[in-house]
Amino acid sequence: GGPLETWPLYASHQFAVAPIGVGFDTFRLWEYLFFGTVPIVLSSPLDSMYLDAHVPCIIVKDWNEVCSWTKNDMEKLSQRFQKWIANSHMWLRPSLWVPRDQAQMDSLCDASPGCRSGGHFFNATKSDENNRTSYML
């Protein structure tokens, strides 16, 4: 379908998979952010850019990780991203990025689970000894 059909769908979900296209970056990531949906992206050379810029997204090493999430995992993610979803419109204001307003970003970051403690990025890794399940949030 076209944008008028898909955009309401994006806005009605908390999380959405944003597969890469021709390059590593995907316009879907930015579309999802616009609609207050947390994008789930595959790990790529862009990870550090997303982390450094405080882009609220979930980075996974393999799509199978998403399939292995339990209902409890999803509820935890939902709680963790609740404040970000409520303030998602703030992340897309041009004045935040051009020129980059680091103080404002850090302030938003304090309320966002997509950020490390200390104003950078929150990184939670779940793994077992056999490395069967691991993901970055």
Q: Is the pTM for the entire model greater than 0.85?
A: no
* pLDDT digit string, tens, across residues 77-88: 988 888 777 777
pLDDT of residue 116: 46
Q: How far apart are CA 131 and CA 54, in angstroms?
A: 27
Helix (H, G, I), strand (E, B) or coil at 86: helix
- Would the pLDDT of 95 be above 80? no
Average pLDDT over residues 61-74: 93
pLDDT of residue 81: 85
Q: Are 136 and 124 in contact (CB under 8 A)?
A: yes
Nearest by Cα to 121 from 45, 57, 77: 57
Residue 133's pLDDT band, with cuts at 50, 70 and 90, is very low
Q: Which helix (H) or strand (E) holds 34?
A: helix 27-34
* pLDDT digit string, tens, across residues 5-32: 888 888 888 899 998 888 888 888 888 8
Nearest by Cα to 66 from 91, 42, 98: 42
Report the range of poorest mean pLDDT among 18-32, 39-53, 84-98, 104-118. 104-118
- Would the pLDDT of 110 be above 60? yes
Per DSSP, what are the bridge partners of residue 117? none
